[in-house]
Amino acid sequence: MPQLICTTDEIGYREGRDILFLSFRDIPEPSSLDDEPWERIPERKTILRWLDDQGISWEPCLHCSPGTLATPYRGAIYLDVAPDELSERYQKLLAFLEDNTGRCRFAGVDFWLVPLEKSLKWYEQRQAQLD
């Protein structure tokens, strides 16, 4: 079933703040045309289960700079948590996702912060390309 997936710049524009998202590197090859191999990534399943258990909303997202070719969805997710150092919810997310060096503790997973200024810039560039 077709699904509209927002880009990270669209989400940043919509939310009006810095945003967080996760991307996944070690994606298996699809076994058929209707196969969604990112659904089989064990680390992604673990993270989604934890997010759901914590009541943290998430949604699929795409991260690509304006002017780049459209890419297929590869399992990336936007995390609906404001990156606020004083927020208990944000600190809980960091404790789950990061190790003591600040790197993502899950193999093949990248944890990103996109500043609002970048999102707005990319959003404006993308809109200009559509005109």
pLDDT at 122: 86
* pLDDT recorded at residue 123: 85
CB atoms within 10 A of CB 46: 13
CA distances from 98 to 11, 19, 25, 36, 85 (A): 23, 16, 17, 27, 14
Structure confidence at residue 1 (pLDDT): 55
pLDDT recorded at residue 73: 81
pLDDT computed for residue 68 by the predictor = 61
Give the type of residue at 87.
S
Whole-number pLDDT of residue 112: 96
State how far the Cα of 112 lies from the Cα of 72, in Å rounded to an integer.
19
Q: Alpha-carbon distance 6 to 88, whole Å?
A: 27
Specify the amino acid at residue 93. Answer: L
DSSP 22-71: EEE--PPPPSSTT--GGGG-HHHHHHHHHHHHHT--EEEEE---TTSPP-
Strand-pairing partners, residue 58, are 79
What are the mean pLDDT values of the chain's consecutive 10-residue runs (131 residues total)? 82 96 84 75 95 97 71 89 97 97 95 95 82 65
